[in-house]
Structures are given as structure tokens and as C-alpha cells.
Structure 1
């Protein structure tokens, strides 16, 4: 190799070494900084993880659910950190209240929980042991609430609930359209249907052809009974082609 080439190569190596040294120094500084910052970052992460919940907002109509009871239940379960809190477990606990239909829980940075409660919407009483909601599901609560005292009562074996609800809507709409207030619908052990009204009139539909008999009652009421309804005591629709009417004692 000529002297000129050896000199050029040595010059190139001398130029490269300072750049390499600078990069190594920079990497060393970065590694040192990271090693110094990592414990602080971990500590800060732990502080954030363990930050207690400072504020809980509970939203809902609270017609049937007791706000204080829900607040106490929540207070017993938010003693963990903001992020460590088991949202699913808290939601499940709140939903154990029979009058709670759905629960939504959101974390709101930095330390707030927002809990939205949707209550059940009862449409009728189920015997003396509960209520029925708008989806036809049982609300297992025997609480006697004054605000719900005007709801009609449904009486039947549990296995007849679905069929009861199918006809309940039809019967309720028919009575409402004629200014007749429904008090109860009962299906006895033999499967015989009786509708009782708030004015004391009992309408017996029997076990068979229920839809046909309901329509027959509506037609006879509209044509014959409406103007005399104050004198009616009971109506029996358990006939193939007609009905029987019992009248109140004029005396």
C-alpha cells in the first residue's frame, strides 16, 4: 500500500472516532437519565393507581330506589384506588336492588365516578310478591308502595306469566278506551280468566276462545251496556254466542 493511501485511511479513522465517541457519550447520558427517571415514573404511576376516589355522582330518577341506600352501598366498596376499583363488581352489587334495572359506571379523571341508575318501570302487580316491568319480567319485591297502589294486580301461576302478559296488554287497552279502570286479572288453577274492574264489576271470560270473547264483550259494551253500566254487577262471557249480565240491586 502506498504512503498516500495509508495516510488517507488514517485520516478517515481519525475523523470517525470523534463521532462514535459522541454517540456513545449521548447513549450513556440517556441510559443514566432513564435509570434516574424510572423509579420516579414508577412511583408516580403507583400514586395515580392508588389515588382514592374523591367524588361520586349518582344520577337517576329515584322514584323507587332509595338514594341513601345506594350511596351507602357505594361507600362500602370504593375504598380502593381510582384505577384499582372493580367497576364490574360495584355494578353487580348495585343491580342487586330489585328496583334497579340498569347501571352505568364511568371513571372521570382524575378521581371522580359517575354512576347512572335506570329504575324499573312497573306496569302491574304480580300477586302479593312482586311487580311486572314493561318487558314482562318479574320485579321480586313485596314492598307496598303507595305510588303503585293504583296498578292492576295479575294473579296466576308463574308458568302462566307469559300468556298473562300477552292478554294483559289487549285487555288493558280495551278497558282504557272505554273509560273502565282495570283492577285485576286472575287465572285460576283451571285456567279460567276473570277480569275485575275498579268499579266492582267482574267479567268472566272462562278458559276457551279468550280473544273471541274479549272482542264480543267490547262489541256488546259499545252497543248495549255503556249507557247502563252503572247498574251492571257482573258480566259472564263464557257462552258460545252471547253474554249474561247481572244487575245491581235497585234497592
Structure 2
């Protein structure tokens, strides 16, 4: 009988010890979790920005990050920071990672505007639109229907390369709903290139331009939508020849 009592006592003692150990571990886990979440004990002290950029306001960007992620280093959500950053003007791409014990490292790739699009957007070299203000930049203006951004930019780049041989540049390019091309050069001449073979037609203009400059009147426009020949409009009296 005494043996059974001793066994039961040991059993109960062991059970009480196990329950106490589980309780201590549970309490310790919650305590550690609370400690890790405590912004004052494990704050994000440093937000390090790298990359080449000139239009991004990193001070403003850091402020937005700290407002959206007020918790500790461990609570900070890298994916949310990434989404927040890429939604900002002038940000093309970003990468975000934590660095122990208190640093957030952010690498930025800035948008590179190459043209204005429909007077309210900017185009990057890949034909993607983005919203940003660039008052100090002199960019060519491209116009076209929605979804034609890449087509318009490809056409502009092809014409720009061709015109570079003649020292003429493009100030405006328009692509109509029917995908007909119209170009205004920096010298004020307007070119109507139509829908087909617009590069060949532009080359025809380049070839005859030296002859056109011999006329006493400046050229206003050249209509190249003909299989052979072209029509010229002159300033002052708008006569065609």
C-alpha cells in the first residue's frame, strides 16, 4: 500500500512538474514574442536607400514607410513596403530586404522618361506609362489611342534614328485611330506619312529636303501619302507644288 502511495506521489509530482514546465515555456514564448514586437526594444533604426536616382524624394519615402509600418523590426512586412514603394511616382522597380538587427535595405530603379504621352503621362524606354511631373525636362510629345504606347514609341525611335543623319529632330508625333503617322519636326515642318511604309516615306522627305530649302518660302508641311511624289505646303500663301 505504501509502495502504491509512493508511485502515485511520484506520478503526481512528475505531472505537476510537466505542467509547470509547459506553463513556463508558454509564458516565456509569449514574453519573448511581446519583447520582439516591442518597437522600443527592436526598432527599425536605419532605412538604407541605394541605386541611381535624381527625382525620388527618399526623405518623403522613408516617412511613408515609417507611417505604414510603425511596428518593430520583426513585425515589418517587406511585401507591404515593396508594394508601397513601387506605387510611388518615379519608381520603376524596387527590392526590399531586412538586415539584422535594425536595418531595412531598399534598392531603387528610377523611371527614365523619354517622351510625354497624350499631355498627361510620361513614357519610359519600354513604352510603359507613368504619372510624374517633369517640368524641367524638354521631351518630345507623342499622341495616340490607348494601348498604342509601345507602337508610337517604336515608330518615334525609328524615325529619330533616320532623321539623325540630317540633323533634324521630332518635337511631336501623332498616331491616329487608324494608325496613320503625322510628325512635327523641331524646325516647324509638318509631315503626313500615312499608314503604310512610313519609314520609306520619311527617307523620301530627307532625300528631297535640300531641294525644298532652295525655295524662297519656308516649308509648312509635306504630304508624303503618295506612291510617287509628294505635296508641299509653303508658309505665307499655303500654295502646294
TM-score, normalised relative to structure 1: 0.72
Counterpart pick for 2:140 among 152, 176, 187: 152
Q: Cα distance, 1:198 vs. partner? A: 1.8
Higher helix share: 1
TM-score, normalised relative to structure 2: 0.75
Figure out how many residues of one structure are paired with residues of the other and give that number: 215
Residue pairs, 1:210-225, within 5 angstroms: 210-221=198-209, 224-225=211-212
**Distance change >3 Å, CA 157–CA 229, structure 1 → 2:** farther
Which segments of 5 or more consecutive residues in structure 1 lack a partner in the other structure? 1-34
Corresponding residue for 2:107? 116
CA distance in 2, matches of 1:113, 1:184: 43
Tell me, yes or no, if the aligned pair for 1:200 and 1:233 is still in contact at 8 Å. Answer: yes
Corresponding residue for 2:65? 74
Counterpart pick for 1:176 among 164, 169, 191: 164
2:224 is aligned with 1:233: no
Corresponding residue for 1:193? 181
Runs of 4+ in 1 over 6 A off after TM superposition: 37-41, 226-230
CA distance in 2, matches of 1:220, 1:232: 12
Greater alpha carbon shift after TM alignment, 42-51 vs 53-62: 42-51
Give the alignment's Cα RMSD to 1 decimal.
Answer: 3.2
**Distance change >3 Å, CA 107–CA 159, structure 1 → 2:** closer
**Distance change >3 Å, CA 199–CA 218, structure 1 → 2:** closer
Which segments of 5 or more consecutive residues in structure 2 lack a partner in the other structure? 1-20
Corresponding residue for 2:87? 96
Tell me, yes or no, if the aligned pair for 1:53 and 1:78 is still in contact at 8 Å. Answer: no
Q: Please say which structure displays the higher CA radius of gyration.
A: 1
Can you list the C-alpha shifts for 1:22-72, whole angstroms capped at 9, x where unaligned? xxxxxxxxxxxxx7x968985567645651111112234442322232122
Counterpart pick for 1:205 among 167, 189, 193: 193
Q: Secondary structure at the match of 1:235?
A: strand
Q: Cα distance, 1:168 vs. partner? A: 1.4
CA distance in 1, matches of 2:97, 2:143: 40
**Distance change >3 Å, CA 177–CA 38, structure 1 → 2:** farther
